[in-house]
Structure 1
Amino acid sequence: MATQKPFRRHSTANPALRPWANRIIGGAVFIILIATLAPFEFISEGVTPTGAIREFFAHPSDWNDLIGNVLLFMPLGFGIALRVQSHGMKLWRGLVIAAIASTLLSLSVEVSQVFLPSRSPSWIDISTNTTGGFCGALSYLALAAIAPNYLQLFDKRVKRVLSVQNLAVALITWVLLMGLISLSLQQAAQLSNWSSDFPLSIGNEKTGDRPWNGRISKVEISDRALSEAEITQVFQGNLLLQPGLVAAYDLTTATNGVLSEVEDRTGTLPNLVAQRNAVRASTRGAIVSGEQWLETAQPAAALSERLQKSSEFTISAIAATSDLNQAGPARILSFSKDPLQRNFTLGQENKQLIFRLRTPITGENGVYTALIVPNIFQDLELHHFLLTYHQNMLRLYVDNPETIYSLELTPEITLFRYLFPFEGRILQLTDFSVSVHKLMFYAVFFVPLGLLLALISAKFKEQVQFDILLVITGIIIPALLLEPIIRNGQFHMQNMIFSIGIAATTMLLTKGSMTAWLYSEGKK
């Protein structure tokens, strides 16, 4: 008697599933790379095998990271299992292939993150990513068992919903949503989340564990950003930060070479009081270290209130380091409660100057997006540091008005922080990374717009005049309206052209496939 082969209905090849599988896998890989490697600025300087291995096994993860990693890789596992079924392979192989593929992709990502200053690789990420891919494949097996024809049913229902009227409503809704998001992003770089119960410290954190070894002679803070002309006058010694001066501490007036208390010349903030030991000082300023630093006797509430109200400031500090290899960063001037909560901090990290500013974008520690300027501390001489913040732009001037370093907390930086929050080292912004952020920002806004227009255009096959009208009303006009909203009233032609190009390219590249899909099997 002939042996009957087991019936394996679930492993029958189905080539019609492959386009769906390819889209899911491609989209999943794209999102994974964006979420884990953006802004793609790889730096080998300072990376050592020993340090990378230590960080790989030492970096902690919280529950948000663990759950996020699993969810991030689930679509990849789902798509791989779907692709396996399309070839008629046994479905258990989909589980194995999904787990292996997820592990290899995750390993590649973690190795790449070693060279990204804003990321921290971890073996835990590889484990959770592999788990996510496996769970994604498992979810496909469960869905295939419960509803074998789910994709065909889903396909028919989606086509039924995509009428011209519904697509037009979706288009208008998306443009309005983009406008609302742009308005909210503008507010995210304000100083609205500052705390008023922090002291102002010079030479250390309030907790005493981030000491700076150096000399500081003057500190002045204003609740407005000085103009370029005023900044020139400041460096010429002809102008204080008036009007708007909130704090002015002169650390060169010591009694018998010692400072025990320093008065704010404006009378706005509490006096600075020596911590641990009396601070030694001379006409060149106060000498601070881990054994002696200065801190306001009470929280500098008036400073927080004034700067929070104006959402702009100017900070002037004349200081000299006594050690070129300090880390922490070591606190030169810090308006903070402890190492994890601050309004702003001016610090030294070896030869780098670091300024952390608290906004809804940067977090309550101000660490996610910091102004980092290399090779500032190259000698032990006094230098004049002047920082201004106005309309999302942070500028640092060193010794003269010509030496300028800047960081713009733009809407694209804001959106990136909201979409992909991470506990990495520090997000360093350079010309390349800023360009990547801008590309991602406009892609998030205008790629969906292009896809909606491609669907509408596909409903009116081969009508060139309609496509031209669609580009004008659906791309150019929204871009013209959104650019001033995105840029806080300013209009940049290059950004508008960029956004139009993204939407138009998306529409042109996808119209053919949209048309073929909508009219496949006679379904409109």
Structure 2
Amino acid sequence: MTGPRSQPPVPQWSRRILIAAAIGIVFLTLFPFRFSLQTELPANASPFLLGVREKNAGTLDNFLNILLFVPFGFGLAEVIRKWGRSRTAPLALSLVAGAAASYSVEFLQLYIPGRDSGWLDVFTNTAGSVAGAALFELCGSVLLRPLSRIEELLESFLTLQRACWLIVLYLGGWFAISLPLQIQTRLEHWGPDSFLVVGNDASGRPGNAWKGQVLRLQLWDRALPDAQVSALTAGKTPGGVSAEPRAAYTFSGPPPFRDQRQFLPDLSRRTATPAQADSTGLVPDATSWVVSEAPVAAFAAAVQRTNQFAMRIVCAPAGGIGASGRIVSISRPSGIADLSLRQENGNLVFWFRSPLSVKRTSLTWHVADVLATNQVHDILYSYDGSDLSLYVDGKRIPQMYRLGPGAALAALPRRVKPAELYAYSSVYYALVFFPAGVLLGLAARRLTRRDRGAWLVLGTNWLLPPWILECLLVWVSGRPVHLEIVALSLALAAGGALWINADGARKSGSVN
């Protein structure tokens, strides 16, 4: 006969805690899920030994590594105790499972650029797993009882009608919040007094000047499809919808350089030294550059109307390590920029104005090691109202740059970073749709297979909200519909419904 201590403490949470812990570990340790086999390891180092790298971690990092695996050990201990094992079994198995899980994570991190692997993380993660198991043995029942009581109260309260009303109120609140958050990513407050400058910004400060050769500059007041961008930057003729730019400059012969589309003013040289130009293009020499003869107010108004833009520049930097300067900018004489592309060593650095980017954020997009000295590069940035993409010489840079309600929400309590933008988006949709799925899952406990009308109502509450939110965000931002976001939202809602029922649930009698 099994003693009382071998029984689950209260209605079971083991699978739910374990699932949540595993998802949290995978997301926090393997994001952004971009793997590269081109990993540089120390000489003769085996990846199975984690590269034998020394990893310097502070006290806070070690504490967070321990904390990350505590829920994993806690949930695993509850599963093991549910099987009727002894009190020592959860501690032993959480030690083995925690070490195996942490080692697997650290091994995979070897192949994720920007991630660090090391044995110290394995030790701290394993300690966290054991600590979680010990926590369950010491006070698991005390911690789980309030959760189970809340679940019971919700289940008894949530008739189908009440669940639908709660979902409407919950999602309605999020939808109302999402609109002003998305507005923060719009192209607003571009100055009508800004000038187009190639080789510097409108302030004319010598320290901002760039050295290199510019062959071509094109501007659009709309985003370009990926296929067209790839073809353009690879020197091919793009197909499909016309890729004619709104403004186009070819830098050959002496200045001024005229816009071939006659949309923007001519570009004239500003220099403290004799002009230098040849038949192959403009050559900014750190003391000379070209500036539009009048403000480019027409372009500023156009991009603010469409909330989209694209910019292509064909250039060859004259400097590598230690080189810096503004390649292109749309800026005011005070130096305030609406758009800026600059070089830092071999890196491209891009920024554009929106209500979000001028706050306490760091939304300057750094792309490393794409410029080679004296080599011609075809560079094109395209912004569709949410996603900014970059192509260099026909190849898309794989980094994700997405502005949306998630980034705007994250900017309220913290300083957002471009490398984390995709994570902000994923977390935002999880906050919106996962709890809604939990409510759907609780309401579904009352239903039987014969309740077809009730299942239809729940299905509608699952299918419609992601589409409604997507349409609202498209309306505000002008971006295209992102089917992958709709699919993610549906998956998160379904995941919430499945997760809340992962440990099984008793059936209630009433459907009303």
Please state which band the TM-score falls in when normalised by the shorter chain: 0.5 to 0.7
Contact 2:467/2:486, CA 8 A, preserved across alignment: no
CA distance 1:147–1:136, change in 2 (3 Å): closer
Counterpart position of 1:113: 109
Secondary structure of the residue aligned to 2:316 is strand
Contact 2:387/2:402, CA 8 A, preserved across alignment: yes
Contact 1:24/1:75, CA 8 A, preserved across alignment: yes
- Distance in 2, matches of 1:120 and 1:132, equals 19
CA distance 1:385–1:147, change in 2 (3 Å): closer
Q: Residue 57 of structure 1 aligns to which amino acid in structure 2?
A: E
Q: Residue 68 of structure 2 aligns to which amino acid in structure 1?
A: L
Note if 1:143 corresponds to 2:175: no
Counterpart position of 1:458: 445
Counterpart position of 1:57: 54
Contact 2:178/2:405, CA 8 A, preserved across alignment: no
Secondary structure of the residue aligned to 2:273 is coil
Counterpart position of 2:491: 502
Q: How many residues align?
A: 454
- Distance in 2, matches of 1:107 and 1:201, equals 50
- Distance in 2, matches of 1:243 and 1:33, equals 50
Counterpart position of 2:163: 167
Which residue of 261, 273, 277 maps to 1:255? 273
Which residue of 239, 242, 250 maps to 2:259? 239
Residue 492 of structure 1: CA displacement? 3.9
Q: Residue 463 of structure 1 aligns to which amino acid in structure 2?
A: R
Residue 19 of structure 1: CA displacement? 5.0
Percent identity among equivalent residues? 20
Map 1:383-398 to 2 at 5 A. Answer: 385=379, 387-389=381-383, 391-394=385-388
Secondary structure of the residue aligned to 2:28 is helix
TM-score (norm 1): 0.62
CA distance 1:137–1:234, change in 2 (3 Å): same
Counterpart position of 1:271: none
Counterpart position of 1:176: 172
- Distance in 1, matches of 2:327 and 2:379, equals 11
Which residue of 450, 453, 469 maps to 2:456? 469
Which residue of 30, 35, 40 maps to 1:37? 30
Contact 2:69/2:125, CA 8 A, preserved across alignment: yes
Note if 1:189 corresponds to 2:189: no
Q: Residue 478 of structure 1 aligns to which amino acid in structure 2?
A: P
Q: Residue 136 of structure 2 aligns to which amino acid in structure 1?
A: Y
- Distance in 1, matches of 2:179 and 2:65, equals 30
Q: Residue 498 of structure 1 aligns to which amino acid in structure 2?
A: A
Contact 1:457/1:511, CA 8 A, preserved across alignment: no
Structure 1: gaps (5+ residues): 1-7, 195-199, 205-209, 258-280, 297-301, 337-341
Which residue of 446, 466, 473 maps to 1:486? 473
Residue 33 of structure 1: CA displacement? 0.3
Residue 239 of structure 1: CA displacement? 1.8
Secondary structure of the residue aligned to 1:459 is coil
Counterpart position of 1:339: none
Q: Residue 215 of structure 1 aligns to which amino acid in structure 2?
A: G
Map 1:355-394 to 2 at 5 A. Answer: 355=350, 360=356, 364-366=361-363, 377=372, 380-382=374-376, 385=379, 387-389=381-383, 391-394=385-388
- Distance in 2, matches of 1:212 and 1:122, equals 43
Contact 1:471/1:504, CA 8 A, preserved across alignment: no
Contact 1:394/1:408, CA 8 A, preserved across alignment: yes
Map 1:55-454 to 2 at 5 A. Answer: 57-58=54-55, 63=60, 68-91=64-87, 94-95=90-91, 97-121=93-117, 125-126=121-122, 128-144=124-140, 156-164=152-160, 166-180=162-176, 182-190=178-186, 215-217=212-214, 231=245, 234=248, 239=259, 250=269, 255-256=273-274, 283=278, 285-286=282-283, 310=304, 319-322=315-318, 326=320, 333=327, 344-347=340-343, 355=350, 360=356, 364-366=361-363, 377=372, 380-382=374-376, 385=379, 387-389=381-383, 391-394=385-388, 405=396, 409=402, 411=404, 414=407, 445-454=432-441
Residues 67-94 of structure 1: per-residue CA shift (max 9 Å, x gap): 6544432211221332343345554654
CA distance 1:448–1:69, change in 2 (3 Å): same
CA distance 1:470–1:9, change in 2 (3 Å): same
Deviates more, 1:183-192 or 1:48-57: 48-57
- Distance in 1, matches of 2:247 and 2:198, equals 27
Structure 2: gaps (5+ residues): 191-196, 202-206, 225-241, 252-257, 291-295, 332-337
- Distance in 2, matches of 1:60 and 1:317, equals 42
Contact 1:21/1:79, CA 8 A, preserved across alignment: yes
Contact 1:203/1:213, CA 8 A, preserved across alignment: yes
CA distance 1:509–1:29, change in 2 (3 Å): closer
Q: Residue 346 of structure 1 aligns to which amino acid in structure 2?
A: R
- Distance in 1, matches of 2:494 and 2:405, equals 21
Secondary structure of the residue aligned to 1:517 is coil
Contact 1:317/1:385, CA 8 A, preserved across alignment: yes
Note if 1:519 corresponds to 2:512: no
Secondary structure of the residue aligned to 2:470 is helix
CA distance 1:255–1:501, change in 2 (3 Å): closer
Q: Residue 40 of structure 1 aligns to which amino acid in structure 2?
A: F
- Distance in 2, matches of 1:151 and 1:457, equals 19
Residue 44 of structure 1: CA displacement? 1.2
- Distance in 1, matches of 2:451 and 2:142, equals 45
Contact 1:385/1:396, CA 8 A, preserved across alignment: yes
Residues 256-300 of structure 1: per-residue CA shift (max 9 Å, x gap): 57xxxxxxxxxxxxxxxxxxxxxxx55455566xxx77899xxxx
- Distance in 2, matches of 1:293 and 1:123, equals 52
Residue 158 of structure 1: CA displacement? 4.9
Residue 41 of structure 1: CA displacement? 2.0
CA distance 1:221–1:469, change in 2 (3 Å): same
Contact 2:6/2:86, CA 8 A, preserved across alignment: no
Residues 102-136 of structure 1: per-residue CA shift (max 9 Å, x gap): 34323322221221125344566445534543443
CA distance 1:182–1:466, change in 2 (3 Å): same
Residue 470 of structure 1: CA displacement? 1.0
Contact 2:388/2:401, CA 8 A, preserved across alignment: yes
Contact 2:220/2:247, CA 8 A, preserved across alignment: no
Secondary structure of the residue aligned to 1:470 is helix
CA distance 1:332–1:115, change in 2 (3 Å): farther
- Distance in 1, matches of 2:104 and 2:415, equals 18
- Distance in 2, matches of 1:333 and 1:387, equals 13
Residue 364 of structure 1: CA displacement? 4.0
CA distance 1:498–1:159, change in 2 (3 Å): closer
- Distance in 2, matches of 1:416 and 1:123, equals 35
